[in-house]
Amino acid sequence: MSSSPKSTSKEQDSLTKRTEIPQSHPRAKSLRIREKLIQHFKSGVVASAGLIAHGRGEAFDYLLGEKTTQPALKAIEAAAATLLTAKHPVISVNGNAVALASKEIVELSKITKAKIEVNLFHRSFEREMTIKKVLEEAGATEVLGIGEAASARIPEVGSERRRVDPKGIPIADVVLVPLEDGDRTEALVRMGKKVIAIDLNPLSRTAQFAAITIVDNVVRAIPTLTEIVGKLKTKNKKKLEDIASTFDNKKNLGKAIDLIHRRLSKLAEKGVYLPILEVDEP
């Protein structure tokens, strides 16, 4: 089982030492996100496999142009309407999601009245407690799924990932999963849950099985989702149900894949597309 290492005193030192990222670096934003994940890996929030998962996500983000695309916005609107009409919405979080967007997750949970449940692939009580602490520091007043509280079981999922909190996922009608693995998403769908996924890879099993797939980076998608929830909050139930029911995930995923395809075709015409800035001769 892969999990984060326990911090030794030497590591505690290195925890406080962060890599300086110059403002002028062309990839500063992306490097800062990496640094955040590394720090949270050292503190025990992120699993070692979480660093690899992030790399895969980054590659897809590159292909998408590192911005929230129109298909992502369309999915976010459907997700907002679905969360607002849900009876028992739950946000199921793992190490990566909390490392990247703890404050944003708490804000979203407050505006949608969704419960936050910690559900780890690489489960350990220590990691659960560390993640709970980060969420509480970000303003969460209730965090489900910690230790013995996760006493219910999801059918058809192997190992410890099967454990869930009876106050959360088992009674949820809508489950938001930022960055989930495919097996669990499939199991949640089989349980009759309406799954909203945030996943940069439109080809992943999670992206394919979810009812609403937001193909975007969690760092952009979660605050945008909160903003759209704020805008839709005043709409009546009928309008919200219309938005949710007219959304076609298959068609929208196709649009996300087509966008990558068209973007790559355009770039393929150019080959080299990054200009090196000319430096004046001394």
State the residues that interact with ligand PTJ by CB under 6 A: 47, 49-50, 53-54, 56-57, 60, 94-96, 100, 120-122, 179-181, 198-201, 204, 217-218
**Structure-block tokens of residue 148:** 């013995």
Closest CA to 200 of 58, 24, 40, 87: 58
Q: How far is the CB of 97 from ligand PTJ (least distance, A)?
A: 8
Q: Count CB-CB contacts under 10 A for residue 253.
A: 19
Q: How far is the CB of 98 from ligand PTJ (least distance, A)?
A: 8
Residue with tokens 């009546």: 236
- 144 versus 240: smaller Cβ distance to ligand PTJ: 144
Q: How far is the CB of 217 from ligand PTJ (least distance, A)?
A: 4
- 55 versus 233: smaller Cβ distance to ligand PTJ: 55
What DSSP string runs through 137-177? HTT-S--B--GGG--EE-TT--GGGGEE-TTSGGG-SEEEE
Q: How far is the CB of 89 from ligand PTJ (least distance, A)?
A: 19
- 107 versus 117: smaller Cβ distance to ligand PTJ: 117
Query: Do 188 and 154 touch, CB atoms closer than 8 A?
Result: yes
Query: Do 172 and 88 touch, CB atoms closer than 8 A?
Result: yes
Q: How far is the CB of 211 from ligand PTJ (least distance, A)?
A: 17
The residue sitting closest to ligand PTJ, measured at its beta carbon, is 57
- Cα(218)–Cα(92) distance, rounded to whole angstroms? 13
- 81 versus 100: smaller Cβ distance to ligand PTJ: 100
Backbone phi and psi for residue 152, each to the nearest 5 degrees, phi listed first: -95, 170
- 198 versus 228: smaller Cβ distance to ligand PTJ: 198
Backbone phi and psi for residue 110, each to the nearest 5 degrees, phi listed first: -70, -45
CA-CA-CA-CA torsion for 196, 202, 207, 211, nearest 10 degrees?
A: 50
Say which DSSP state 1 is in. Answer: -
**Structure-block tokens of residue 236:** 């009546």
- 109 versus 201: smaller Cβ distance to ligand PTJ: 201
Q: Is 224 helix (H, G, I), strand (E, B) or coil?
A: helix
- 70 versus 245: smaller Cβ distance to ligand PTJ: 70
Q: How far is the CB of 138 from ligand PTJ (least distance, A)?
A: 16
Closest CA to 212 of 189, 232, 233: 189
Q: How far is the CB of 28 from ligand PTJ (least distance, A)?
A: 17
Q: Count CB-CB contacts under 10 A for residue 282.
A: 3
